Amino acid sequence: MPQVKFIEFNGTEHVVDASKGESIMVAATNNLVPGIDADCGGECSCATCHVLIDADWQARLGARSEQEESMLDLNPDRTDESRLSCQIPMTDELDGITVRLPEFQY
Amino acid sequence: MSGIVIIGAGQAAGQAAASLRQEGFEGTITILGDEDSAPYQRPPLSKQYLSGEVGVDRLLVRPEKFYVDKNIDLKTGTRVGSIAPSEKSVTTTGGDRFEYDKLLIATGSRPRILNITGSDLEGIHYLRTMGDVDGIRESMGSASRICIVGGGYIGLEVAAVARTSGLDVTVLEMEDRILQRVTTPEMSAYYHQLHAGRGVNIMTNTTVSGFQGNGSVSAVLCGDEIIEADLVIVGIGIIPNVELAETAGLKCENGIVVDDHCRSSDPDIYAAGDCTNHPNPLLNRRLRLESVPNAMEQARVASANMLGGDRVYAAIPWFWSDQYELKLQMVGFSSDGDSSVIRGDKSTNEFAVFYLNDGKVVAVDAVNSPREFMVCKQLYGKAVNAPDLANPEFELKSLLN
């Protein structure tokens, strides 16, 4: 089972198991990781599962879809590392990925 | 300590149980739900679940194992018959009694039922639960003509799925326009044209008087008019499930009346989701909302407060609807505006209508325009220059900060 390391804005770390195919958002909510609201349930409709992933790991992810890009564009905490975690399915290649959480979800 | 009992097993209930554990609560959590499933997402029911794009596993808010792992006692197929606030207990229709320190009522809502000639014929469906949609999908396989009673979001989402699957689709609306209760004439006209363009037959000012059929429905009657149909979906609104609360003596008025902490008129009983009549300090009024984001936020607020916290509910309502390839995202209520301004071009199916009141942004209807949706969430209540919003060259980003 691939693992995800979530780091809360306050520095608290959570290492959780994720099932292959399920999104990073689902791995967070199934393991009670705080800081991800995921109000729309993974439809890319709300942008409340915003996370930050560094460039090395980003290189192994697919590119953002137009919808994901648009939802992130006007987020005040947007950086080059911004992703919506509901749009990233877990794979074996992503085992050990580090995902940082922003201070707020908008 | 007897712990926390949650009545209902919908999205508010599921979120509340998760939030309670996330906040560190280690006592007993019991969820009593009358459906047979663990909490699941309802929005996809009339969209991707109906079309078959999404299966049951993706519908569940959290897998069943989650409740076991987190020591949450999830009792499905269990209907609560009564609440006894003086004893701080609830009793199921099967006679089981559960005591609580704090109770959360998350009973949601149920579809308004048509009670007219022929309404008990087979082939007439409502859409609220996974079971409802399983029944609709089974019928859709052999149906050729579907008639949808009610031109609200549920009805139009079903129309889009059914039309895409190649069925003949008729939508009957008793008002003079579809979406009359929830949007402006301008947006109603846009969605009317969209569906008509895809071949949906929309009949406004049309009231259903009965159904015809031999065992199974074969036609819908609207006065003298007969509309042939072998499948009927009725989507004419919902009724909040307040009866348990009302019988227990809690204050109810178009929903269970709660304060800004999601607390009912009994200090040990909270309520969350579709069943509540709650104050919204940002809108400056009380309202009852049929909305998942509201259910989730109220569940978080109620959970924090049941554990002794002091969290106030203050969220801008937002909604979404998927029809064909169009994603409509809404913030606030267009009826709160005294003027509107459109950004983008309707003919491209990519536009947003902003609604202003006294120059301040109070709502948006954004079609395939997620940026405008996101900007409205952040601009709510702020004064803007309307011509800027209308100018496609104007950078929305500059309005933030």
What is the DSSP secondary-structure string of A11-67?
A: S-EEEEE--TTSBHHHHHHHTT-TT---TTSSSSSS-TTEEE--HHHHTTSPPPPHH
- Residue A29 above 90 pLDDT? yes
Architecture of domain B325-399: 2-Layer Sandwich (3.30)
Going by the DSSP 8-state scheme, the letter that residue B334 receives in this structure is G
CA B182/CA B206 separation, integer angstroms? 18
- pLDDT at site B197: 98
- pLDDT at site B260: 98
- pLDDT at site B400: 86
Task: Among A39, A40, A74, select the one facing B400 at the smallest CB separation.
Answer: A74
- pLDDT at site B281: 96
Residue A53 belongs to a domain = yes
- pLDDT at site A8: 96
Residue A68 belongs to a domain = yes
pLDDT (tens digit per residue) in B193-211: 999 999 999 999 999 999 9
Contacts of A105 in chain B (CB under 8 A): none
Q: Where are the domains of chain B?
A: 4-110+238-306, 113-234, 325-399
Report residue B264's pLDDT band, with 50, 70 and 90 as the boundaries.
very high
Task: Among A40, A70, A106, select the one facing B371 at the smallest CB separation.
Answer: A70
- Measure the CA angle with vertex B399, ends B393 and B401; round to 5°: 140
Task: Among B320, B329, B375, select the one facing A74 at the smallest CB separation.
Answer: B375
CA A44/CA B153 separation, integer angstroms? 19
A30 and B43 in contact by Cβ < 8 A? no
Architecture of domain B4-110+238-306: 3-Layer(bba) Sandwich (3.50)
Which CATH number characterizes residue A71's domain? 3.10.20.30
Distances in Å between the Cα of B237 and the Cα atoms of B110, B149, B338, B348, B369 are 9, 11, 27, 31, 27
Distances in Å between the Cα of A1 and the Cα atoms of A38, A51, B57, B68 are 23, 21, 18, 20
- Residue B169 above 90 pLDDT? yes
- Residue B258 above 60 pLDDT? yes
A45 and B378 in contact by Cβ < 8 A? no
Residue A106 belongs to a domain = no
Helix (H, G, I), strand (E, B) or coil at B374: helix
Residue A41 belongs to a domain = yes
Residue ranges of B 49-68 with Cβ closer than 8 A to chain A: 58, 61-63, 66
**Nearest CA-CA partner of B18 in B300, B381, B315:** B300
Range of the domain at A96: 3-100
Contacts of A89 in chain B (CB under 8 A): none
Residue A105 belongs to a domain = no
Over pLDDT 70: what percentage of chain A?
Answer: 100
Residue B170 makes CB contacts below 8 A (sequence gap 6+) with B145, B146, B147, B148, B200, B201, B202, B203, B220, B227, B229
What phi and psi values does residue B191 have, to the nearest 5 degrees? -70, -30
B173, B206 contact by CB (below 8 A)? yes
ipTM of the complex: 0.94
- pLDDT at site A101: 97
A12–chain B Cβ distance below 8 A for any pair:
no
Over pLDDT 90: what percentage of chain B?
Answer: 98
Q: What total of structural domains would you count in chain A?
A: 1
- pLDDT at site A76: 87
For the structural domain made of B113-234, what CATH number should be given? Answer: 3.50.50.60
List B91's β-bridge partners, or say none.
B82, B97
Report residue A106's pLDDT band, with 50, 70 and 90 as the boundaries.
confident
Tell me the helix, strand and coil percentages in chain B, rounded to 5: 30, 30, 40
- pLDDT at site B2: 78
Report residue B1's pLDDT band, with 50, 70 and 90 as the boundaries.
low
- pLDDT at site A71: 94
Within this chain, domains B4-110+238-306 and B113-234 share the same CATH topology: yes
What phi and psi values does residue B280 have, to the nearest 5 degrees? -120, 110
* Token output for A48: 């409340």
Residue A79 belongs to a domain = yes
- pLDDT at site B132: 97
